[in-house]
Amino acid sequence: MAWYSKQKKVPQTAATPAAPPAEPTKKGEGLWNKCDGCGEVVYRADLEANWNVCPRCGHHEMMPVRRRFEMLFDPGSFQELDVELTPQDPLGFVDAKKYKDRLKSTFKATGLRDAFISGLCTIGGREVSVGSFAFEFMGGSMGSVVGEKVARVIDRAYERKIPCIVFSSTGGARMQEGIYSLMQMAKTSAALNRFRKVRKPYISVMLHPTTGGVAASFAWLGDVVIAEPKALIGFAGPRVIEQTIREKLPPGFQRSEFLLEHGMIDAIVPRLELKDRLAQLLGLLG
Ligand SMILES: [Zn+2]
């Protein structure tokens, strides 16, 4: 006997209308939000007023890049630069759809040209060269444009002799740009090496998640490396590591708390305290 048998289709008539397809509820939409930390349902306006930190349990939801700037920089001080950089398709890459089409549709959905925004701002009155990943753009993946923008953030800090801060939230290199993506690791690391000469701080802030080629290059090369609570940070994913070393990984592996305990990062700073902490660090080191 067969394991599966074909079910007979019930013909639809006017008397038995088909049930409406369940509306897919996207995260980040609707009036209410179910917290991934405590499972409580929170009014979205309350969550957003609290910078996407759950008012019940303190769980950090992801936050769009522009909101982060609004939260951390002195009001009106951010000047966006490098806006002319737009991604190309050097390999003519096609997966489920053409890379070119994917770029177009992501631009339409997010209003962003690529997964990184860079510029100058002040924090606590001090000028800083800054840049941040936008996870909402193709999972914050790093292609040629992102790498170039990161390098420019660092180079501007070098030229002006000011501190620089990069906020990372990324899945790693952008596979659609192949080797061009991987080359960004060397390019940004080389820019940081030059920046060392001006003896100003480079603060790397790792948000959830920071993985792959970004974690393996400039994100972990900060003079000070800060992470948000419970952020996933690492190079390869836990499944790949387990299969490679054939050992069970300890609980909490690759989370901020585990990494702090093992000396891989310098501090865990809750989002609501980040602006003060950055201003303090800039005051001490800048
Ligand atoms: Zn919660």
pLDDT digits (tens, 9 = 90+) for 190-199: 999 999 999 9
| Nearest CA-CA partner of 226 in 194, 264, 181 | 264
Classify 58 as helix, strand or coil: coil
125 half-sphere exposure, CB direction, 13 A CA radius: 2
Instruction: Give per-residue pLDDT as tens, 172-182.
Output: 999 999 999 99
> Cβ–Cβ contacts within 10 Å for residue 67, how many?
13
Distances (CA, A) of 270 to 63, 82, 228, 276: 13, 30, 6, 11
Cα of 71 to ligand 1 centre, how many Å?
A: 20
Specify the range with the lowest mean pLDDT, choosing from 19-33, 103-117, 235-249. Answer: 19-33
Specify the pLDDT at position 10.
53
Specify the pLDDT at position 7.
61
Could you tell me the pLDDT band of residue 286, with boundaries at 50, 70 and 90?
confident
Distance CA 52, CA 68 (A): 10
Specify the pLDDT at position 3.
58
In the beta sheet, which residues pair with residue 81? 118
For the record, the structure tokens of 260 come out as: 């702090």
Angle between helices 144-160 and 178-195 (to 10 degrees): 10
Specify the range with the lowest mean pLDDT, choosing from 6-20, 52-66, 186-200, 248-262. Answer: 6-20
Cα of 146 to ligand 1 centre, how many Å?
A: 32
Cα of 38 to ligand 1 centre, how many Å?
A: 4
**Per-residue pLDDT averaged across 134-147, rounded?**
97
Could you tell me the pLDDT band of residue 238, with boundaries at 50, 70 and 90?
confident
* Burial classification of residue 100, based on how many CB atoms lie within 10 Å of its CB (0-12 exposed, 13-18 middle, 19 or more buried): middle
Cα of 189 to ligand 1 centre, how many Å?
A: 37
Q: For the full predicted model, state whether its pTM sits above 0.85.
A: yes
Specify the pLDDT at position 77.
98
pLDDT for residue 211 is more than 80: yes
pLDDT for residue 278 is more than 70: yes
pLDDT for residue 90 is more than 50: yes
Cα of 262 to ligand 1 centre, how many Å?
A: 27
Cα of 191 to ligand 1 centre, how many Å?
A: 40
Cα of 54 to ligand 1 centre, how many Å?
A: 5
**Per-residue pLDDT averaged across 68-72, rounded?**
97
Distance CA 134, CA 66 (A): 9
Specify the pLDDT at position 237.
85
Distance of CA 260 to the CA centre of its chain: 19
Cα of 28 to ligand 1 centre, how many Å?
A: 15
Cα of 237 to ligand 1 centre, how many Å?
A: 25
